[in-house]
Amino acid sequence: MTIVRTSLRNFFAHKGRMVLSGLAVVLSVAFVCGTLVFTDTMNSTFDKLFGDTAADVSVEPGGDGASGGGEMPSTGRPETLPASLVGRAGAVEGAGEAFGVAATMAVTVVDAEGENIGPTTGAPTIAANWTELDRRAMTVTAGHPPRGPDEVMVDSDTAEKHGIGLGDELRTVSAFGEFTSRVVGIATWQVTNPGAAALYYETGVVQERLLGGGEVFTSVAVLAADGVTDELLKQNVRAAVGEELSVLTAAESAERNKEGIGSFLDVMKYALLGFAGIALLVGVFLIVNTFSMLVAQRTRELGLMRAIGADRRQVGRSVVIEALLLGVVGSVLGVAAGVGVAVGLMRLMGLLGMTLSTDDLTVGWATPVVGVVLGVVVTLLAAWLPARRAGRVSPMAALRDAGVSADGRSGRVRAVAGVALTGAGAAALVGAAGAAEAGPGALYLSVGVLLTLLGFVLVGPLLARVVVRALSVVVLRVWGPVGRLAERNALRNPRRTGATAAALMIGLALVAGLSVVGSSMVASGRAEVDRTVGADFIVSSMAGQPLTPQVAESLKDVPELAHVTEYRSLDELTLTLPDGGTARGSVSAASPTYARDVRAETVAGELAGAFEPGGMSVGEEFADAHGLGVGDRLGVAFPGGRSGELEIRAVTSAEAMIDQGVMYVGLRTAEEYVPAERMPLNTLMLGTAVEGQESAAYAALKAELERYPQYEVRDQAAYKQLLEDQVGQLLNMVYGLLALAIIVAVLGVVNTLALSVVERTREIGLLRAVGLSRRQLRRMVRLESVVIALFGALLGLGLGLAWGVAGQRLLALEGLRTLEIPWVTIGGVFLGSAVVGLVAALLPAFRAGRMNVLRAIATE
């Protein structure tokens, strides 16, 4: 009991010193909980949306990959059902009402300014008829639902975003052409709309102009009569419509609708949790340091406790109890802050165009449990080592002047272990760089990253002596004696300096490693475009909409173009191997000119041959895996049911970034086997200008596409820029998330300095007495901080460069052939960390400067 009481007293006596470690726990736990709350909220938002808008039973087209408007069909033509099914499904026993739903996502809607009003977030634009199901989720707040062929109703979010009002004209573009309608109504969501744009037309309009004509629907909704379960109704409907169609209960269709989004949410959740984990790891260093310093400062006190009869375990336990308190307080605050983080994330999504309502904020029971358990366990683990050290304080310490005991032996063990781990890790990285296959290489890489990180953490204190001295020569010596004092302070306790710097090292190593891979990716991409792309222009859409036939035709008519290449993805097809086995492979059909436009490197055969009738190409990996070569024949099951036997005329290199592993067939070959209505639209088109007319062609293409804001034409320079932008965006996102770990690390620097200043009160008093000015004193603290930060940056950047280079070498197998080290970024991070050091020192330096000389001298 006494132990608990002492711990409590200590905890509250030193609560100021606990603040920063507590903050580290709070931040990490908040991020974990925030992620959980955020993804839970997203999940329940979608559940509600899909649950509310699903019919009790719906009938959708069956067959392979059917999705009844749930996905964007590559043909631009949603699969449909005959309208007669409505009557059949509605007549079954237990059915209350049945109606047809005509909906498609294969549309683009353009406002009067020629702007695409669809969402930019990847959420769909949905064009549909206004049915009972929609009325459940929306109410008409202005005007009325569409009643005539020229009328359209828009959802309020989209209307607001694009300033659309009643009477405005909208142009709807689909694979079947385009038409203009007048806005007659605005409907407001009653459930949270996560960002889709919804447009409602008269049923006939959707059927005629968006589904290809005829009495068809994309699904049939059946509502159950009172007392009839969805399951029972499903059975009855199934019996009435036959086995070929898919029949789903409300729960099943909600589930199916959520599949795609759910996996996206999962990826997001684990990515966010991963970054939270890194921050937590960094927080561990902070906590270890805090408790180590508190134990060191209390050596005499602990010795006294030992002298008056407390045993080792009791003394150790007193530290553990303090950690427990810190963990509990920090985690509970963290859980609360996590809700705030979730709201923040939701706002952020709002900025990106995804509307989420805080009304749906979902805090699952698991969230606080995970948060508190995680926070407490991590804090306890981090305090374990200092607690053991506290237990080892001898009773003699009570009598001695509070001196720092040098721990020579464990230092040596640590150094040996650290060097061994670093060596093993380096060997693994070299192994990864030289790996001949991606699989084992990735394993080597991750083992190497882990071991070198651990090794660096262990040898950090050892390196501190060397590196800090070297840094001092460059950075500190110019400041004369103050610089020397700062250097000595940084070196005084290398373990502390090492741990503080290690925290910073982790985040910066990841930044450096990823920046190397990222810029190598850009450089390799540019190099590959230069090397292989012969076409002058690339036409594609960012959101993945295929090019409608009208656009394709109009591009072909641009007179400044020498030729235009079409490119259609046939997606995963089943292939029959010469030995009778089957395999899957993604097949693309392109014009023969593709061989000139994208000079994909081949390891065997001529690519041009693949585009001739009866020919195809396969990727190197596929060929190796199945023992195929030029001249072998493959059976290809094309969409629409027909199969053809094609001869392999070329094997493409695996070391490619563009179309890696894709099998090519000629467009004519595909047209031979695929019926016109099952032929996918162009996913992209390539154009080559008539010699000398490049800029005129570029202008003409741009003019041609002006009416279609969903598509964009890029010349090679713009295409390379796009690659760079995409990689840059991804990197920025990752850097943003790593910022959390870096913030925690900076807190660690602040913490170490603040506690050091307290620990060195008497020294500071002495320095001030013998004439060190406040400014000099503050500078001393700042310089120490800078040197610690630079030390951490140096370790982190060095480590990250090694990781990045090993990663690039490994990814060279996948086409990442050019190594580019972003020296500007690396240098910027290094200098930035000096600034970080300065910022971290602000408060401790201020406190040191404010210290009363007399009181400082008198401090025990």
Partner 1 sequence: MTTAVANPRAGGAGGGTAVAAQARQVVKAYGSGETRVVALDRVDVDIARGAFTAIMGPSGSGKSTLMHCLAGLDIVTSGQIRVGDTEITGLKEKRLTRLRRDHIGFVFQSFNLLPTLTALENITLPMDIAGRRPDRAWLDRVVETVGLRQRLRHRPSELSGGQQQRVAVARALAARPDIIFGDEPTGNLDSRAGAEVLGFLRRSVDELGQTMVMVTHDPVAAAYADRVLYLADGRLVDEMLRPTAEMVLDRMKAFDTLGRVS
Stretch that binds partner 1, among 2-10, 349-357, 480-488, 672-680 (CB under 8 A): 480-488
Q: Are 128 and 248 in contact (CB under 8 A)?
A: no
* Euclidean distance between CA atoms 736 and 744, whole angstroms: 13
Give the C-alpha distances (Å, rounded to integers) separating 832 from 253, 467, 733: 51, 18, 19
Contact range with partner 1 by CB under 8 A, out of 168-176, 390-398, 483-491, 655-663: 483-491
Residues 6+ positions from 100 with CB-CB distance below 8 Å: 81, 83, 85, 86, 129, 203, 217, 219, 220, 221
Binding residues for partner 1, how many (CB under 8 A)? 25
User: Least CB distance from residue 488 to partner 1, whole Å?
Assistant: 3
CB nearer to partner 1: give 399 or 717: 399
| Binding positions for partner 1, 388-407, rule CB under 8 A | 403
Rounded-to-integer distance, Cα 350 and Cα 344, Å: 10
- Contact between residue 547 and residue 539 where contact means Cβ atoms under 8 Å apart: yes
Question: Looking at 603, 722, 843, 857, which residue binds partner 1 (CB under 8 A)?
Answer: 857
Q: Under rule CB under 8 A, which residues in 602-631 are in contact with partner 1? A: none
Q: Which is nearer to partner 1, 492 or 633 (CB)?
A: 492
- Single-letter amino acid, residue 756: S
- Residues in the chain, how many? 860
Q: Sign of the CA dihedral 278, 281, 287, 293?
A: negative
In angstroms, the Cα distances linking 172 to 105, 140, 241, 706, 779 are 12, 21, 33, 15, 66
Smallest gap, in angstroms, from Cβ of residue 859 to partner 1? 9
Closer to partner 1 by CB, 308 or 406: give it.
Answer: 406
**Pick 10 or 489: Cβ nearer partner 1:** 489
Q: Which stretch binds partner 1 (CB under 8 A): 75-83, 488-496, 522-530, 747-755?
A: 488-496
| Chain residues 773-792 in contact with partner 1, contact rule CB under 8 A | 773-774, 776
Contact 31, 275 (CB under 8 A): yes
Q: Does 492 contact partner 1 by CB under 8 A?
A: yes
CB under 8 A: which stretch of 13-21, 47-55, 156-164, 487-495 binds partner 1?
Answer: 487-495
Which is closer to partner 1, CB of 247 or CB of 767?
Answer: 767
What is the sign, positive or negative, of the torsion defined by CA atoms of 709, 711, 715, 721? positive
Of 156 and 785, CB closest to partner 1: 785
Site string (751-770) toward partner 1, x via CB under 8 A:
-----------xx--xxxxx
Rounded to a whole number of angstroms, the minimum distance from the CB of residue 486 to partner 1 is 10
Q: Give per-residue burial for 316-350: e unless 16+ CB within 10 Å, then b.
A: bbbbbbbbbbbbebbbbbbbebbbebbbebbeebe
In 620-726, DSSP assigns E strands to 633-637, 643-652, 663-666, 684-689, 711-715
Smallest gap from Cβ 839 to partner 1, in A, equals 25
Residue 661 makes CB contacts below 8 A (sequence gap 6+) with 585, 586, 619, 621, 622, 652, 654
Rounded CA gap, 61 and 11, in Å? Answer: 66
Question: In this structure, are residues 492 and 464 in contact, taking their beta carbons and an 8 Å threshold?
Answer: no
Q: How far, in Å, CA of 15 to CA of 19, rounded?
A: 6
| Closest CB 494 distance from partner 1, rounded Å | 12
**Gap between the Cα atoms of 779 and 840, Å rounded:** 13
DSSP assignment, residue 769?
Answer: H
Cβ closer to partner 1: 19 or 772?
772
Strands 197-201 and 125-129: parallel
Least CB distance to partner 1 at residue 772 (A): 5
Among 64-72, 155-163, 474-482, 829-837, the segment contacting partner 1 (CB under 8 A): 474-482
Q: Single out the segment in contact with partner 1 by CB under 8 A; choices: 76-84, 335-343, 344-352, 482-490.
A: 482-490
Count other C-beta atoms under 10 Å from residue 440's C-beta: 13
Of 120 and 773, which CB lies nearer to partner 1 in the complex structure? Answer: 773
Residue 477 contacts partner 1 per CB under 8 A: no
Are 795 and 859 within 8 A, CB to CB?
Answer: no
The Cα–Cα gap between 395 and 315 comes to 11
Residue number, 197 or 485, with CB nearest to partner 1: 485
CB of 767 to partner 1, least distance (A): 7
Among 474, 692, 771, 823, which residue interacts with partner 1 (rule: CB under 8 A)? 771
- 408 lies in the site for partner 1, by CB under 8 A: no
Residue 465 contacts partner 1 per CB under 8 A: no
Binding window for partner 1 (CB under 8 A); candidates: 44-52, 199-207, 486-494, 804-812: 486-494
- Binding of residue 854 to partner 1 (CB under 8 A): yes
Name the residue nearer to partner 1 (CB basis): 466 or 835. Answer: 466
Kindly state whether residue 684 participates in binding partner 1, applying the rule CB under 8 A.
Answer: no
Question: In the complex, which residues of this chain contact partner 1 (CB under 8 A)?
Answer: 403, 480-482, 484-485, 488-489, 491-492, 762-763, 766-774, 776, 853-854, 857
